[in-house]
Amino acid sequence: MDLTAERRLSAISGHLQELECDGDAKSLFSLGVTAGEFVNGQGYSVVLPEKLQTGKWNVYRSARSPLKLIRGFHEHPDIRTLHDNFVYKWMTYGETCTSRSAIGSGLIYHDIPKGACVGLYFINRPEWIIVDHACSAFSYVSVPLYDTLGPDAVSYIVNHASIQVVGGSDENLDFVPSINQPTVITYSKLYEQDNLKLVDDMAVLRPTVFASVPRLYNRIYAGVMNAVKTSGGLKEKLFNVAFNAKMQAILSGKNPSPIWDKLVFNKIKDKLGGRVRFMTSGASPLSQDIMDFLRVCFGGEVIEGYGMTETSCVISSMDVGDIMTGHVGSPNPACEIKLVDVPEMNYTSDDSPYPRGEICVRGPIVFQGYYKDEVQTKEVIDEDGWLHTGDIGLWLHGGRLKIIDRKRTSLSWHKGEYIAPEKLENVYAKCKFVSQCFIYGDSFNSCLVAVVAVDPEMLKNWAASDGIQYESLEQLCSDPRARAAVLAEMDDVGRQAELRGFEFAKAVTLVLDPFTLENGLLTPTFKARLRSRSRSHHYDTQRQGKPKWRARGKKSRESGRRRCVFEARRGDVGKTARAGEHEGNSPEVARRAGEARPLRFSSSMF
């Protein structure tokens, strides 16, 4: 090493604390791949200074590529974008190519100029991907038009992006509101999908890689655990012994005994086809015990990732072989991460033992900005190129990132505490009565309340066991005894999760309507849209009663159905709460839709 490099190493090492190892002081600082380039190793991540003159080491990169952010794959230099990398559909390449070429040729035939914006007005289905690929192949710009946004938002996007042509399925294109009057091209519907038959589909398709969201994994967990409890006796004891033995082996870094899979877990694996070896989770946080459950019951690798649309998806992901749970892994080699202080929430990058703050990302995967919206772009990307995600994270040992809060959705409590509703909803989702949960509160009131979309079967079973008579499920949901039973079960789950006192919901409203894409209460990525519409729920300050369902407002012209509006008034919800007016499908229609029903697992499989 030359003298210049030695002097730099000596000077920068002075900023670092030494680590005691077997009585000897050992520096965490090491020489990098290239002489004169230095990094501070943290296991799965490395730490670098953002600016050398500040002396602060706060930028984390993947240990797999510490000195240079990845912009492509050495083995596949032609792959530079997500479009190059992924073709996801149950079709052959030849079939896909033929469809793509036909669509692109059709656009040319209709005199659509190259570079024109093409609106994609589909639900999630193969045609969406095929048309998107056609746009890329024939030099068009694809613009998603989610059918769940409603006609007003679709009209805004069509006009804002100057869309010249809209492609979609017949049922979506009856009406496309726009002052631009774009060309409308329909794509014949190819198939139907039924979320209730998901388990049956998996048993037939027998996937080896299973990518999903916590909402589905929570349903699988609830279905299996309910079946275990129903089986009772020796079968329940056998499951618990097998689960604990296999979990202990995994935590010890050992291979679990195959006897437990043969006796118990292979029957659960078969419900997803029996061949799943790799499972991934994203879109929202996956609770630690659900992660442990998936690893034990399905075996193989279970990886949780973190990302957003603005970063071409993945910001960080768990490393293969990492047995620690409760985090989202190390940085993507194509980006770097730092935490920025949020003093109003008491999060700082100097917190000990774990630095905390808003997660900021920089690198070639970060988008250039929002289309025709310079103001909003400047709100999220600072002058140094850092994208401010709005998520609060902390660095665990080994350079693992953990998401702990959300800057924009946290509730500022009346005593100064901050509450993360999404974290509480993930906890309560493990309650046997809960299909979906929405937590609400504000700084003007002394407690939290919950709106629970119940599991009808669990509610009926409870009523039967307690000898409670009812004429309809709607009546049962409004029964004070039912609310008390659900709240008691939620309290038990909350205590197991070690929630703090002010994090417990003190009142609950039971509804049969699931939160769905169709009624506007879920986003296209299955996140709760209720957060932004929390003003829409009316909370009664005096009593809990039967929810009032009525549709006000104008019908959507393209479907004839009324658009969902979810508005709320502030009030003293400390005593009790009642779900108020919800516009959309009737409870009976939503109940039949069954979007949020838990997956069913028979106790006989144990």
Tell me what pLDDT residue 339 has: 96
Beta strands in 292-399 (DSSP E): 301-308, 313-317, 330-331, 336-340, 356-362, 387-396
Let me know if residue 566 belongs to a domain.
Answer: no
Let me know if residue 564 belongs to a domain.
Answer: no
How far is CA 437 from its chain centroid?
A: 15
State the maximum Cα–Cα separation within the chain, in Å, rounded to a whole number.
Answer: 87
Write the pLDDT tens digit of every residue in 491-515: 999 999 888 888 899 999 999 988 8
Asked whether the predicted pLDDT for residue 525 surpasses 70, the reply is no
Range in 49-58, 101-110, 124-133 the model is least confident about: 49-58
Does 203 share its domain with 173? no
Does 456 share its domain with 394? no
Let me know if residue 15 belongs to a domain.
Answer: no
Does 202 share its domain with 158? no
Tell me what pLDDT residue 50 has: 82
Tell me what pLDDT residue 139 has: 94
Maximum mean pLDDT: which of 160-174, 236-250, 583-597: 236-250
Does 247 share its domain with 300? yes
Tell me what pLDDT residue 386 has: 96
CA distance 475 to 477: 5
Write the pLDDT tens digit of every residue in 93-111: 888 899 999 999 988 988 8
Residue 540's identity, in one-letter code, is D
Let me know if residue 573 belongs to a domain.
Answer: no
Tell me what pLDDT residue 583 has: 30
Does 352 share its domain with 283? no
Asked whether the predicted pLDDT for residue 73 surpasses 90, the reply is no
Higher-confidence position of 419 and 348: 348
Q: Quote the domain boundaries for residue 524.
A: 411-537
CA distance 386 to 360: 6
DSSP string over 429-467: TTSTTEEEEEEE--TTSSSEEEEEEE-HHHHHHHHHHTT
Asked whether the predicted pLDDT for residue 536 surpasses 70, the reply is no
Tell me what pLDDT residue 462 has: 93
Let me know if residue 116 belongs to a domain.
Answer: yes
Burial of 417 (0-12, 13-18, 19+ CB in 10 A): middle
Nearest to 449 by CA among 547, 344, 579: 579
Asked whether the predicted pLDDT for residue 590 surpasses 70, the reply is no
Does 163 share its domain with 257? no
Residue 180's identity, in one-letter code, is N
Asked whether the predicted pLDDT for residue 190 surpasses 60, the reply is no
List Cβ neighbours of 167 (8 Å cut-off, separation of 6 or more).
103, 118, 119, 120, 121, 122, 131, 185, 186, 187
Asked whether the predicted pLDDT for residue 430 surpasses 70, the reply is yes
* CATH number for the domain harbouring residue 156: 3.40.50.980
List Cβ neighbours of 471 (8 Å cut-off, separation of 6 or more).
none
Other Cβ atoms within 10 Å of 528 Cβ, number: 22
Tell me what pLDDT residue 100 has: 92
CA distance 404 to 388: 16
Asked whether the predicted pLDDT for residue 587 surpasses 60, the reply is no
Residue 414's identity, in one-letter code, is H
φ, ψ dihedrals at 193, nearest 5°? -135, 145
CA within 13 Å, CB half, 254: 9
Does 179 share its domain with 165? yes
Let me know if residue 470 belongs to a domain.
Answer: yes
Confidence of residue 140 (pLDDT cuts 50, 70, 90): very high
CA distance 45 to 400: 7
* CATH number for the domain harbouring residue 370: 2.30.38.10
Handedness of CA 79, 84, 90, 94 (dihedral sign): negative
Q: How are beta strands 165-168 and 141-144 bridged, if at all?
A: unpaired
Beta strands in 18-70 (DSSP E): 18-21, 24-27, 29-31, 38-41, 45-49, 57-62
Say whether 236 sits in a helix, a strand or coil: helix
Maximum mean pLDDT: which of 224-233, 281-290, 395-404, 546-555: 395-404
Let me know if residue 523 belongs to a domain.
Answer: yes
The arithmetic mean of pLDDT across residues 549-560, rounded, is 32
Nearest to 267 by CA among 9, 523, 545, 601: 601
Does 120 share its domain with 102? yes
Judge whether 381 and 389 are in contact, CB under 8 Å.
no
Question: Domain ends where: 164, 187, 210?
Answer: 187
Tell me what pLDDT residue 531 has: 53
Judge whether 189 and 169 are in contact, CB under 8 Å.
yes
The arithmetic mean of pLDDT across residues 40-68, rounded, is 80
Judge whether 59 and 69 are in contact, CB under 8 Å.
no
Judge whether 437 and 428 are in contact, CB under 8 Å.
yes
Question: Domain ends where: 537, 572, 588?
Answer: 537
CA distance 218 to 234: 25
Asked whether the predicted pLDDT for residue 574 surpasses 60, the reply is no
Range in 207-221, 384-398, 586-600 the model is least confident about: 586-600
Rg of the chain, C-alpha, whole Å: 26
Nearest to 57 by CA among 108, 90, 16, 2: 16
Does 378 share its domain with 429? no
Asked whether the predicted pLDDT for residue 597 surpasses 80, the reply is no
Predicted structure pTM score: 0.59
Let me know if residue 129 belongs to a domain.
Answer: yes
Residue 451's identity, in one-letter code, is V
Query: What is the number of structural domains in the chain?
Result: 4
Asked whether the predicted pLDDT for residue 131 surpasses 70, the reply is yes
CA within 13 Å, CB half, 247: 15
Confidence of residue 559 (pLDDT cuts 50, 70, 90): very low
Range in 6-10, 207-211, 273-277, 482-486 the model is least confident about: 6-10
Write the pLDDT tens digit of every residue in 236-263: 999 999 999 999 999 888 889 999 999 9
Report the DSSP beta bridge partners of residue 340: 358
Does 374 share its domain with 475? no
Does 422 share its domain with 395? no
- What mean pLDDT value characterizes the chain? 76
Tell me what pLDDT residue 510 has: 94
Tell me what pLDDT residue 332 has: 94
Does 351 share its domain with 271? no
Tell me what pLDDT residue 3 has: 61
Beta strands in 221-320 (DSSP E): 278-281, 301-308, 313-317
Question: Domain ends where: 500, 518, 537?
Answer: 537
Nearest to 359 by CA among 388, 335, 325: 388
